[in-house]
Structure 1
Amino acid sequence: MKPFSLITLLIFSLPCVSALSAEPPKTDGDNAPPKPMDYYLKPDSRAGDELTNNMLSEIAETLGFRGGKAERAAELMAALDKQKTNLDYMYRFEPLVAKGSYVPPVVVEAKDVAHITDNQIRTGNRVYEILSPARFVSNPPTWKTYLKTGLYANPIDMPEAETLPKNSKEKAIWERSIKIGWAKGREKAD
């Protein structure tokens, strides 16, 4: 029984001994010494630069988007205000408001409609779709209700001073991102 337990002990202890004596896995810097504590206390600023650049870019693009959208909205509102007299005359909704102060539903008619799938074809001479249901109103809508919706030309506040660019590299990122956001904002306002 003793020889069996010695052999068993040897067989099971060999992997443990070999694991303890095994070398750690090789990395790219096989012969590089371990890093000193200062390396970890003062991390490389390159990682911080990338984070700062991404933050600046995002803030500037958002600011540019809001500014571009506000600028374009102001232009559109000025153009609408020049046509105010004509629009007031052409788009009078008072006669459309039913007794009881409700606006009738908006209904769209489509003629000669066909809907084709793999298994069937549906056709119809006319199809009616209710785009918006009837609703109660205290004042009849005007052209402004529809054409000026979503056009906000309020001034845009600058972000906190801590988030503004601090050097020429950051200023270049800031300016590029403002221009990108501005173009997107103007496009969105249209």
Structure 2
Amino acid sequence: MTTLRLRPEDPADIGPVRMVLAAAFARPDAAVPGEVALVDELRDSDAWIPELAMVAEYGGEVVGYALLSRVFVQSDDVRAPALALGPVAVAPHRQRVGHGTAAVQAGLDAATELGERLVVVLGDPAYYRRFGFVRADRMGLTSPWSGLGEPWQALALPPTTSGEGPPPRGEVVFPAPWSRV
């Protein structure tokens, strides 16, 4: 029986991850989807956290991907670390069987283990609600995508120590690669 294997991306996965992203985000108006370039640029930036680039492998083939990368929440003079989820992609021939959900959950679990407190995402509320995401404005978070309403979402991860306060509030500042998507 073939099982799904979830693990952090390794260098040998770069090509297969690009193929999954290109197939999942293919648009007739773009030769290479912006999500491919986004991941490539994030890999070469300070926003990259290797343990949070999750690959879903099925039968030895990379079929899914979920990336969590570093962003910051700016409030007055405080700059707190947070994570952005995305892109999330599944190869078209393996969609709708749970591979994307599994990759996202593995990434969120790994982020929690690393002591991260907050994740933001821009995406389908019906999909991300299953992980506990809520409208980001309800958590006091703004961004260039705040005007989109429901798709701009956030998730407070469970604290790893009892002394941790609430997640940060303020303007979510994305690294430069995000401005080109």
Q: TM-score range by the shorter chain?
A: under 0.3
- More strand by percentage: 2
Q: Decide which structure has the larger Cα Rg and report it.
A: 1
Larger RCO: 1 or 2 (CA < 8 Å, sep 6+): 1
Alignment TM-score, normalising by the size of structure 1? 0.22
- More helix by percentage: 1
